[in-house]
Amino acid sequence: MPRIYYDQDADLSYLKDKTVAIVGYGNQGRSQALNLRDSGINVIVGNTRDRAWDQAKEDGFETYPVAEAVERADVIALLVPDEIAPQVYEESIVPHLKEGKVLDFASGYNVTYDFIQFPEYIDVIMVAPRMIGRSVRDLFVQGSGGPSLVGVHQDYSGQAWERALAFAKGIGSTRVGAVESSFEEETRCDLFGEQLSGGLLYMIRTAYEIMVANGISEEAAILELVASGEREETVRAMTEMGLFHQLVLHSHTSQYGQLTRGRRMVTDKTRMVMEEIMQEIVTGAFAKEWMLEQQAGLPLFKGLWKQSLRHSFTAAEKRVHDKLARKEKE
């Protein structure tokens, strides 16, 4: 059973005399940088000269081109999107990876599929928050934190675990729990969870089509399925109470319907498809497909986006949201 680490298990002193460079001042980068600074860690930012650069300067960080930030830093947190990370790494990080430096990832993707490889004389760690960047910051400010998966891919210094836990503490994860993991496990969890969420998107849209075909107005269907916020509250209850325990918050009629009809939607065929999707992740087939899609100019990606936005669901959803927004403003 993996160990879960808390504040008492992590020591910020492993980072106190270090300079941490946050490479990529996006959603995760900004939140992690602010949290680390508030925890007393010396943080600089490496970024291209764009809106994120301006934001980092406005937030009071010393901001440099990526290569210069890496040269100045002891710990480098690579927080750019997965698809551009290998290029950023090769062009701006590798030439400045001196012996004893630490390279941190918030995703195991590029390491798991060997898109990024390392010299043997650095520590390679992972602190992967299990939530979006905004929540990483908001929870920290509230005195709590967001949990992370924490792993070590390469321990050159003999202190890689301690440094990973210090980083996790610095961003607030050990306040609630940093779970021992690996780059490979994080990749499988992350991709499968994301793709499961994608299945939910298509299931909701299909439910909308069935409801409208059976005489329910588009507005009522949208309100029931997405716009009311009920599902958000249900997911929050799942987080706090448990997947099935939250059912007690629903009527007996609702409980009976969910327990009897819900399981009918997960058939042997559904399970087979889910297993196939997981195997595409495990074998690297998905990563290869995604890489080839990028090299081809994203034709399928762009096509599916256009198809989704042209669906009647999207237009009905906008109408309902606009009307609800006007009601809130009055």
Of the CA atoms within 13 Å of residue 176, those in its CB half-sphere come to 17
Phi, psi of 179 (to 5 degrees): -95, 125
How far apart are the C-alpha atoms of 22 and 211, rounded to whole Å?
Answer: 47
Residue type at 186 in one-letter notation: E
Annotated binding site for Mg(2+): 190, 194
Pairing state between β 75-78 and 19-23:
parallel
Annotated binding site: 190, 194
How far apart are the C-alpha atoms of 147 and 209, rounded to whole Å?
Answer: 37
22: alpha, beta or left? (left if phi > 0; alpha if psi -120 to 50): beta
DSSP letter (8 states) at residue 224:
I
CA dihedral sign of residues 293, 299, 302, 305:
negative
